[in-house]
Amino acid sequence: MTQDLSIFNLILNASWVVQFVVLLLVGVSIASWAAIFRKIMALKRVQRLNDEFDRGFWSGTSLNDLFAGAAQNAKHSGGMERIFASGMREYQKLRERHILDPGTLLDGARRAMRASYQRELDSIEANLSFLATVGSVSPYVGLFGTVWGIMHAFTGLAALEQVTLATVAPGIAEALVATAIGLFAAIPAVVAYNRFAHDIDRIANRLETFIEEFSNILQRNLGAQAAASAAPSAQSQSATSPSGF
């Protein structure tokens, strides 16, 4: 008599421990796929918003106008725009307190931008640890189900007088299903984690580059203002885009 060795039937005939492991792995796999799709959409949105702000930043718009726009668009701004806004906000607060030392102003703006940068990095790295856990633990959970299933199968065979391949195959097959589902859950999570880690590194490098570029612009503007204060009659040279305050 031919036995039905389909995956669905093997799971139905497996022990409750194997069934629990399979159910757990299926749930983890669904959760990891949901996290993967959310992360794909989130990273695309981050890159799109950063591109939009980057084009506006280098279009020649004054820093004050950019800051006003960032304040109005705070709920829908990207990471680069929020970093810029935090630096400008700290810069203006220091100037309102009549702090005119260029080094203090620049250092305060840089510290604010670095803090905002870290918050952005923490935000875009969300759920990466979950994918890493799924990728590393799922095969072992599936292996546990397989070992338990094989033990259960051999325990049942101990009562038989004659053991053939036909009697052994169903028990071994239903046990190996747990390992297969564990790999099914782990492989996409590992691939997605590596891809996302690469994309996040690129975004982080871009944000760090922006911090350095914006710091250089602030430094040039502070130097121009200091030169204008020292020699009011001299005409200050215009800085490269974006324009100053």
- Confidence (pLDDT) at 238: 46
pLDDT digits (tens, 9 = 90+) for 191-203: 999 999 999 999 9
pLDDT digits (tens, 9 = 90+) for 47-67: 999 999 999 889 888 888 888
> The whole model's pTM is what?
0.79
Q: Which two tokens stand for residue 74?
A: 């705070």
- Confidence (pLDDT) at 12: 66
Contacts of 82 (CB under 8 A, 6+ apart): 70, 74, 116, 120
Q: Which two tokens stand for residue 236?
A: 């200050």
Among candidates 151, 165, 147, which has minimal Cα distance to 21?
147
d(CA 110, CA 46) in angstroms, rounded, equals 22
